[in-house]
Amino acid sequence: MRGPASIVTLEHMYGEQAFDNADIQDATLVAGSDSATAPSPEWQASLFAAGDPEADPTFAGLRRLPLDESSWIDHLPRWLSGSDHVFAELVARLPWRQRTVPMYERLVREPRLVWWWSEGDPPPPLPVLDELRRALTLRYDRSFDSIGCNYYRTGADSVAWHGDRLRHTQVDPVVAIVSVGAPRPFQLRPRGGGSSLSFLLGQGDLLVMGGAAQHDWEHSVPKVAVAGPRISVTFRHGAPLPPATVGGVSAHPSAGAHNRHTPATGSPRGQGTLTAEGREDGRKRPGSTRPHTEGPPS
């Protein structure tokens, strides 16, 4: 079990989100901590995702889809072979936590389990996670220095519309998600609302968001009536410093406040600036004037 310092690390990439009490699905909590015992899911492995874990270093079949003039996603189904083995090992071996976070003047438990790794921590418990990180680093010319896992146990687990907090400090962050386990809808829409795109991600699928996708677009994993368990393994670069912990509860610096774009300078790919509205050229981003709450990455 990881110590209090690691609990703080779990919080530092996450934003705010409000839930109704009915939305919270409890895990088995260890007294005095936010540790959770991951349940044994009713889940059947896929013949297409069995075998030894291995990611295709050539990224053959990857498709780039433009979201708008400055935002894009890359999609590669079943990039990771043997993903069912990875799913089973992650469920069994990671020290999963169900975080209690302050949201709008109350404490709630997030409707999913989480685990976090940052560069400088002991090596990830599964070597394949490091292999995926290195492959993505070579492909996208970014130093991916953190890995976050979200465990969606049933269709009741979810995450609301949000953009990753990397956009507050980086002009063009790249966020890569590898999904293992049962396929589950993953949605994207323009920031502030609009028509959405939906991808059914699982069984080793890769989805990468880049350009201005975190600034101008939001993503979510919605609740569904019936779903098998899925784990999203998310790779990020340039992680900010973690916030303080107050009274054993992680106090997110923006909890309960409306999200606004903040100035940022530079990125691993070059220099740049963001205005208060969020664009380098000073034009407003879609929906940038509307109040918005954000949730943890998918």
Mean pLDDT of 20-35: 36
Q: Mean pLDDT of all residues in the chain?
A: 73
Query: Cβ neighbours of residue 186 under 8 Å, at least 6 residues apart?
Result: 177, 179, 198, 199, 200, 201, 207, 219, 220, 221, 298
Instruction: Say which DSSP state 68 is in.
Output: S
**Tens digit of each residue's pLDDT (9 = 90 or more) over 94-133:** 999 998 877 778 898 889 999 999 999 999 989 999 999 9
Percentage of the residues of the chain whose pLDDT score is greater than 90:
52
**Tens digit of each residue's pLDDT (9 = 90 or more) over 157-169:** 999 888 887 887 7
To which residue do tokens 């109704």 refer?
Answer: 20
Burial class of residue 40 (count of CB atoms within 10 Å of its CB; 0-12, 13-18, 19+): exposed
Burial class of residue 11 (count of CB atoms within 10 Å of its CB; 0-12, 13-18, 19+): buried
Buried b (16+ CB within 10 A) or exposed e, 116-152: bbbeeeeebebebbebbbebbbebbebebbbbbbbbb
Which of the pair, 45 or 2, is modelled with greater confidence? Answer: 45
Which of the pair, 51 or 145, is modelled with greater confidence? Answer: 145
Rounded to whole angstroms, the Cα distance separating 171 from 135 reads 23
- pLDDT over threshold 90, residue 90: yes
- Reported as type and span, the H/E element at residue 4 is helix 4-11
At CA 260, angle to CA 253 and CA 250, rounded to 5?
Answer: 15
57 forms beta bridges with none
- Does domain 4-53+65-273 fall under CATH 2.60.120.590? My reply is yes
Taking the CA atoms of 272, 278, 281 and 282 in sequence, report the sign of the dihedral they define: negative
- Reference 209, options 178, 254, 169, 181; nearest CA is 178
| pLDDT band at residue 4 using 50, 70 and 90 as cut-offs | very low
Q: Is 79 left (phi over 0), alpha (psi -120 to 50) or beta?
A: alpha
Query: Residue 105: how many CB atoms within 10 A of its CB?
Result: 7
Taking the CA atoms of 199, 201, 205 and 207 in sequence, report the sign of the dihedral they define: positive
Cβ–Cβ < 8 Å for 84, 203: yes
What are the structure tokens assigned to 67, written together?
């979201």
Rounded to whole angstroms, the Cα distance separating 43 from 163 reads 30
Rounded to whole angstroms, the Cα distance separating 195 from 180 reads 26
Rounded to whole angstroms, the Cα distance separating 292 from 289 reads 9
* pTM (whole model) above 0.85: no
